[in-house]
């Protein structure tokens, strides 16, 4: 018989970049491909969960059996996620959310200014989606397990531990995005998992492997962190 350790669970996953408009034709964004988030969604569905993928603009195909909600901006992603947390068992924030958006999006296309060498954009902070999800998981009877990602180019473990605590996450998947052939846009990734258990924190180093295999390992670890264990 097929092993379905996530059967009966609702897993919400954010994936991809967000797009922050400057005017009707331009935006600020990043290089996130959405591969890791989509691999997680596919894996969660294979393990038997009901999966909702809140996705920024990417070219990935929606995995079979996954409900996909398309968003563009961080604020749209924030709104969709907060709507979904009631009834969610595991929330995984894999999206590369833009930290800032343009303050005052121009109604019309911004014209090149003759006689000026520069153009100043004013940016304002976007909401921190995962931190808000972790904060708002009340009542205690419905607390999703919150899993975040930390993409770093140095001091991986220290920054990841700081995020785990500061954003009140249950688990964090840290990856070194400066490693060649891994991370952003690549098919493979390696990660350091840090999670809270009982009193302290535990860690596990996952070597470079396909994002599909890595997604399975991350999900199985998250399932083991659920209060009722993997057969929740």
209 Cα distance to chain centroid: 19
136 annotated as belonging to a binding site for a ligand:
no
DSSP assignment of 97-157 equals: --SEEESS--SSPPPPPTT-S-----EEEPP-HHHHHHHT--SGGG--EEEEEEEESS-HH
Supply the minimum distance, in Å, between the C-beta of residue 117 and ligand C5P: 32
CA distances from 95 to 81, 124, 141, 152, 194 (A): 12, 19, 27, 14, 18
Q: Which of 110, 196 has the CB closer to ligand C5P?
A: 196
125 is in an annotated binding site: no
30 is a catalytic site residue: yes
Known binding residue 87? Answer is no
128 annotated ligand binder: yes
Chain positions contacting ligand C5P, by CB under 6 A: 14, 74, 93-95, 97, 99, 126, 128-130, 148-150, 163
Which candidate in 30, 126, 175, 189 is catalytic?
Answer: 30
Smaller CB separation from ligand C5P, 48 or 76:
76
- Interacting residues of 93 by C-beta distance below 8 A, sequence separation 6+: 14, 129, 130, 133, 146, 147, 148, 149
Q: Which is nearer to ligand C5P, 71 or 107 (CB)?
A: 71
Asked whether residue 85 is marked as a ligand-binding residue, the answer is: no
User: Least Å distance between CB 79 and ligand C5P?
Assistant: 13
Please answer whether residues 146 and 170 qualify as being in contact, where contact means their C-beta atoms are separated by less than 8 angstroms. Answer: yes
Judged by beta carbon, residue 48 or residue 72, the one nearer ligand C5P is 72
Output the smallest distance, CB 97 to ligand C5P, in A.
Answer: 4
Which candidate, 96, 94, 74, 84, places its Cα nearest to that of 50?
84
| Beta carbon of residue 3, minimum distance to ligand C5P (angstroms, whole number) | 27
Which residues participate in the annotated binding site for CTP?
Answer: 93-95, 99, 109, 127-130, 149, 163, 167
- Catalytic residue numbers read 30
Which residues participate in the annotated binding site?
Answer: 93-95, 99, 109, 127-130, 149, 163, 167
């Amino acid at each position: 018989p097929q092993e379905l350790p996530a059967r009966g669970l609702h897993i919400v996953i954010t994936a991809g970049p967000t797009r922050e408009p400057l005017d009707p034709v331009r935006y600020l964004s990043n290089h996130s491909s959405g591969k890791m988030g989509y691999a997680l969604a596919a894996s969660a569905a294979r393990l038997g969960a009901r999966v909702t993928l809140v996705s920024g603009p990417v070219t990935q195909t929606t995995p079979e059996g996954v409900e996909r909600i398309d968003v563009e901006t961080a604020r749209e992603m924030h709104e969709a996620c907060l709507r979904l947390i009631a009834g969610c068992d595991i929330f995984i924030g894999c999206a590369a959310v833009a930290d800032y958006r343009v303050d005052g999006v121009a109604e019309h296309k911004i014209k090149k200014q003759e006689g000026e060498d520069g153009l100043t954009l004013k940016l304002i902070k976007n909401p921190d989606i995962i931190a808000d999800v972790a904060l708002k998981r009340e009542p205690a009877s419905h607390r999703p397990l919150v899993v975040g990602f930390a993409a770093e180019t140095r001091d991986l473990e220290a920054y990841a531990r700081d995020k785990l605590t500061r954003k009140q996450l249950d688990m964090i998947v840290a990856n070194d995005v400066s490693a060649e052939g891994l991370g952003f846009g690549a098919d493979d990734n390696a990660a350091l998992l840090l999670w809270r258990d009982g009193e302290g924190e535990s860690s596990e180093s996952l070597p470079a492997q396909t994002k599909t295999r890595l997604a399975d390992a991350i999900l199985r670890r998250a399932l083991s962190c659920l209060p009722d264990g993997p057969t929740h």
